Homo-oligomer: A and B are copies of this chain.
Amino acid sequence: MDPFSIVADLEEGAFAKSSRMVRNVKRLSSLREIFEDEADYQKSLSREDRVVYEYTRPVIPPEPGQLFFGTSTIHPGRIGREYFMTAGHYHAKLATGEVYLCLKGEGILLMQNRAGRTRHFRMRRGVAVYVPPCFAHRTVNTGSEEFVCFYCFPGDAGHDYESLKTRGFLVRVKERKGKPSVVPSAKRREGRNRGGA
């Protein structure tokens, strides 16, 4: 394929519109399963189907040796006490990593592996986080402005959202006394009890 260049505003974060970059928008209505407080989710949705996050992705063949990159923008907001966040995913090719570089705002990057080990990293402009192979990852906007990251991962990594729909993240990021706090997921505990394990 051909080399190409695109332009980002490093103060505001997002890449400019380009034939090389596709923009995806995720609204509340498409994110039913990720928030813990279902009552407030329904209430928020009935008021407005807000944009929770959006991202740009390049027009590049999803093949080994290629790289996918772009920017993700999570808008500020909460459902109940839980901050706006991405759906989160493992890579379909599990043993592939990802790099995040925060360009704007503040947030937390959550990670979790198949063994149930969780890690989290606080991010602000300039912080890079390495997601090693085999870790699911989700970004959370804990600030009052847009939280924007540049990301890069292998072109053949793909996405596995399903594993997280059934198991979910073991931790959630909620506002506690005006500050973001990483706490165990209630939904996950319910799931455990229902499953009889």
Contacts and interface: CB of A to CB of B under 8 A. Distances in A.
A159 to B, nearest CB: 15
Contacts of A4: 129-130
B7 A65 contact: no
A32 to B, nearest CB: 28
A186 interface: no
A8 interface: yes
B130 A58 contact: yes
Interface residues of A, number: 47
A63 to B, nearest CB: 8
A6 B66 CA distance: 25
Interface stretch (A33-41, A131-139, A162-170, A176-184): A131-139
A67 B99 CA distance: 7
Interface stretch (A72-80, A147-155, A189-197): A147-155
A121 B6 contact: no
Contact of A5 (B98, B125, B129): B129
28 contacts: A1-B132, A1-B133, A3-B119, A3-B129, A3-B131, A5-B121, A5-B127, A5-B130, A6-B130, A7-B126, A7-B128, A8-B126, A8-B128, A9-B126, A10-B10, A15-B128, A60-B132, A66-B132, A66-B133, A67-B98, A67-B99, A67-B154, A69-B130, A97-B155, A99-B152, A101-B101, A150-B150, A152-B152
